[in-house]
Amino acid sequence: MASVTLAIFGALVGAVLGSTMSALAYRIPAGMNIAVARSECPSCHVQIAAYDNIPIISYILLKGRCRSCHVQIAASYIVLEGSMALLYAVLVPLYRWGITEVGIYLAVFIAVTGAIVDLKVRKIPNVLTYFGMLAEALLVVGRSIESHSLAPILPALIALIIFGGSLFVIGILTKGMGLGDAKLVGVIALALSSFGLYFIFYVILGSFALGSLVGVALMVTGRASRKSAIPFGPFITLSFLIALLVAKL
Ligand SMILES: [Zn+2]
């Protein structure tokens, strides 16, 4: 497929994923059922019709208001849908299609959703990371079946244990790093296991570097103290995205 076709396809998938992320980031912290397909207006609780739930387009057509009660809908919806459309429009032509690549696109979805929820409630929910690890593990098994070899399984196990496992232990021992962060790294480690351990190591190193930079900047500007808890998930996600793009430069 031509790169342009892949970019358009990526943009469509990204817009839908961005819309799903908004729904999950709203429903998970509120303890709502995430399996229900239909969304409702947070203000008047009227169910949003399918034709009013088209990512980006509906927001523009309805001028960012609920059709029923005309309350202003947060701009974060269209911002997230737009930025995910852009991100996947860049990623899909770069990585194209295959079982490994689907794993990467899924990990991006889990990581960005986790980062948003982490920023909102300072916690990366298990429902995201456990689903992510299970799906990524199944994709590794899929790669193994596809290649008629057990070769993909060992690096995936090692990556999960070395990176997810060590951060999990550090999280339990120091209570500084959240266990949700460690589980998110587990999802990313499984997705990137065919890229080599050093690649995953760079992602984690990058997240600590970004986290320290922002932490110091917040302390210098007096917006955080040494004791402030800064959510770490967004830095893992940012480092993961940067690594994916830099790897294809
Ligand atoms: Zn409404």
In this predicted structure, the answer to whether residue 176 has a pLDDT above a threshold of 80 is no
Residues in the chain: 249
Q: What is the pLDDT of residues 153-173, one digit of tens each?
A: 999 999 999 999 988 898 888
Q: What are phi and psi for residue 181, nearest 5 degrees? A: -60, -45
Residue with tokens 């739930």: 53
In the reported structure, the alpha carbon of residue 66 is separated from the centroid of ligand 1 by a whole-number distance in angstroms of 5
In the reported structure, the alpha carbon of residue 112 is separated from the centroid of ligand 1 by a whole-number distance in angstroms of 27
Answer for the pair 95, 1: CB distance below 8 angstroms, yes or no. Answer: no
Q: Measure the CA dihedral 48/51/57/63, to 10°.
A: -50
Distance between CA 143 and CA 145 in Å, rounded?
Answer: 5
In the reported structure, the alpha carbon of residue 13 is separated from the centroid of ligand 1 by a whole-number distance in angstroms of 26
Residues with a beta carbon under 5 angstroms from ion ligand 1: 41, 43-44, 66, 68-69
Which residues is 40 bridged to in the sheet?
47
- Band (213; pLDDT cuts 50, 70, 90): very high
More confident residue, 237 or 178: 237
In the reported structure, the alpha carbon of residue 102 is separated from the centroid of ligand 1 by a whole-number distance in angstroms of 36
The model's pTM is 0.93
Distance between CA 171 and CA 161 in Å, rounded?
Answer: 14
In the reported structure, the alpha carbon of residue 59 is separated from the centroid of ligand 1 by a whole-number distance in angstroms of 13
- Band (37; pLDDT cuts 50, 70, 90): low
Domain ranges of the chain: 1-97, 98-249
Q: How many Cβ atoms are within 10 Å of 240's Cβ, its own excluded? A: 26
